[in-house]
Structure 1
Amino acid sequence: MDLASSLSRPEITTQVTRGAARLLADLGYTPLAEVCLPNGRRADLMALSARGEFMIIEVKSGIEDFRVDRKWREYGPYCDRFAFAVAPEFPLDILPEDPGLIVADGFGGAVLREPPVATLAGARRKALTIAFGRLAAMRAAGVAVLSLEV
């Protein structure tokens, strides 16, 4: 039985997010889920590499989710890399070819297409790095915070 037929859309989103986060950690990134960006958009996953590079992952739970949600185009100014993460059953041919592509389930994932690099400006990277660190620390301390305060 495939993931899409046995789970609700929110459950698929949770599973794909969990698997993509595990993959990012395996790749040397530190992921945070549900990060509100300075432009008011919310990234499903935002991750910071040991080299200080940011990757944003947009999780898509199904065809309808992809077709109605175009906010992912507004993430570029806040990351060096951008990718979609989808369940194994997702029809990959409907996704644009430019972003990276991750296929994930609740246990992990695989990069099918490396995200292209679009390097952030130094001042923005510094501001995002500080905000990301503060957000992670607040969450670790149990403070319910979603937004990057840049």
Structure 2
Amino acid sequence: MDVPAESPSPGLQPGQLLARGVCRHMLSLGFATVEELVPTGGLRVDVMALGPKGEVWVIECKSSRADYMADHKWQGYLPWCDRFFWAVGQDFPAELLPDETGLIIADPYDAEILRMGPETRLSGARRKVMVQKFARHAALRLQALRDPQHSGLL
């Protein structure tokens, strides 16, 4: 990944910078993305990607070993996606990550899939729920950008 001369967005946390690079890469693969989506109570995924054929991928961004070690909910994301990935920086100790999950190396500008997460297809009913949540989340985010005084809708 070549890093362009532009500087990353000021004020973003390290995990958010990874998410930015992941979202850019997903777009290059034809996926639309949303960040901070709640698939069910008690869970919030860093990035959910919706593919051109309706595939649903979840990407959890981990900026450090401590960030990863503190994540005790990741297996709860598996029933809500077709594929699950970790997105980490180049210096992250990738040997910590389970082999049965996908691996993405990211920076604020781009990402690269190093290991494809295994596919476990969602049922039709679960896919419908996730696509509706994705669409609603994306629409509310857009509305909040256009009408910030009513951003409490999220």
**Shorter-chain-normalised TM-score: which range?**
0.7 to 0.9
Instruction: Indicate how the Cα distance of structure 1 residues 38 and 114 shifts in structure 2: closer, same or farther if over 3 A, else same.
Output: same
Deviations 1:102-129 (A, max 9, x none): 0000110100001110000001111211
1:89 match: secondary structure: coil
Alpha-carbon separation, structure 1, partners of 2:112 and 2:153: 29
**Alignment RMSD, CA only?**
1.4
Residue identity in the other structure for 2:125: A
Does the Cα contact within 8 Å between 2:33 and 2:50 map onto a contact in 1? Answer: yes
Which residue pairs with 1:5 in the alignment? none
Give the TM-score taking structure 2 as reference length. 0.84
Which residue pairs with 2:39 in the alignment? 37
Query: Where does structure 2 lack aligned partners over 5 or more consecutive residues?
Result: 1-11, 145-150
Alignment of 1:1-150 (within 5 A): 11-142=13-144, 143-146=151-154
Does the Cα contact within 8 Å between 1:138 and 1:144 map onto a contact in 2? Answer: no
Q: Which has the higher strand share?
A: 1
Residue identity in the other structure for 1:38: T
Deviations 1:2-29 (A, max 9, x none): xxxxxxxx73212211111111111111
Alpha-carbon separation, structure 2, partners of 1:34 and 1:80: 18
How many residue pairs get matched? 137
Give the TM-score taking structure 1 as reference length. 0.86
Alpha-carbon separation, structure 2, partners of 1:78 and 1:50: 18
Give runs of ≥4 in structure 1 deviating > 2 Å: 143-146
User: Among the aligned pairs, what percent are the same residue?
Assistant: 39
Residue identity in the other structure for 2:109: F
Query: Where does structure 1 lack aligned partners over 5 or more consecutive residues?
Result: 1-9
1:56 match: secondary structure: strand
